[in-house]
Chain A
């Protein structure tokens, strides 16, 4: 079964540094998402992406965050100047488009554990 893959599995970064989290969505999927889960808290939506632009973003997704689809396979999340509170598990997900235009289940990657020191 095709999978969403994320790299790296664990990223340790100094506060203030930039970090890029990478994702390869399932190849025929057209919707892409980033979620995060701070330790002990709920999985929270960050951003969705479709047709090379952001579809929706949460209030968490401020100016320090950006997403990009640099080529036909990768989908990246960049955090420009990391803060201690950015430490979390970041999940990428993708979903396909149904002919009806209705919701389809999202498929998740294994996540990247981001630790900010």
Chain B
């Protein structure tokens, strides 16, 4: 079964600091990879996705993630965070690349950006 781990449960940083959140998955085949964000009181929103091609993926709001197949990792980065990036971030991996597949989520990382 697929498993997804996020290394940090809580991250606190100041505005303009750089952010990197780790995500590792267990499945060794070709995968799709997602990062979702949940702002306080809101629903899970797709931040970015990797399907194939360039392993460096650009998402919304200045976020990017790098797929490193050899490390089974898909780390999320942002060079300079803002207070509005305060949220919980979830890495998610579908069971396979076929349509309609269930997502396995990491435990989430709560990010608090201090103004």
Q: Which residues of A contact B (CB under 8 A)?
A: 3-4, 31, 33, 35, 41-45, 48, 50, 55-56, 58, 91, 93, 95, 97-98, 101-111
Contacts and interface: CB of A to CB of B under 8 A. Distances in A.
Given A42-B105, A42-B108, A43-B90, A105 B100 contact: no
B98 A101 contact: yes
Given A107-B46, A110-B43, A102 B103 contact: no
B75 to A, nearest CB: 19
Interface of B: 32, 34, 36, 42-46, 49, 51, 90, 92, 94, 96-108
A94 B96 CA distance: 17
A93 B104 CA distance: 13
Given A31-B100, A45-B103, A105 B46 contact: yes
A102 B107 contact: no
Given A42-B105, A42-B106, A42-B108, A103 B99 contact: yes
A20 B33 CA distance: 32
Closest 8 CB pairs of A and B: A108-B44, A31-B100, A45-B102, A43-B105, A110-B43, A103-B32, A105-B46, A108-B43
8 contacts: A31-B99, A31-B100, A41-B107, A42-B108, A45-B104, A58-B102, A103-B96, A111-B43
A55 B104 contact: no
B100 to A, nearest CB: 4
Contacts of B46: 105, 107
A41 B90 CA distance: 12
Given A101-B99, A102-B51, A105-B46, 8 more contacts: A3-B43, A31-B99, A42-B108, A45-B102, A93-B44, A103-B98, A108-B43, A110-B42
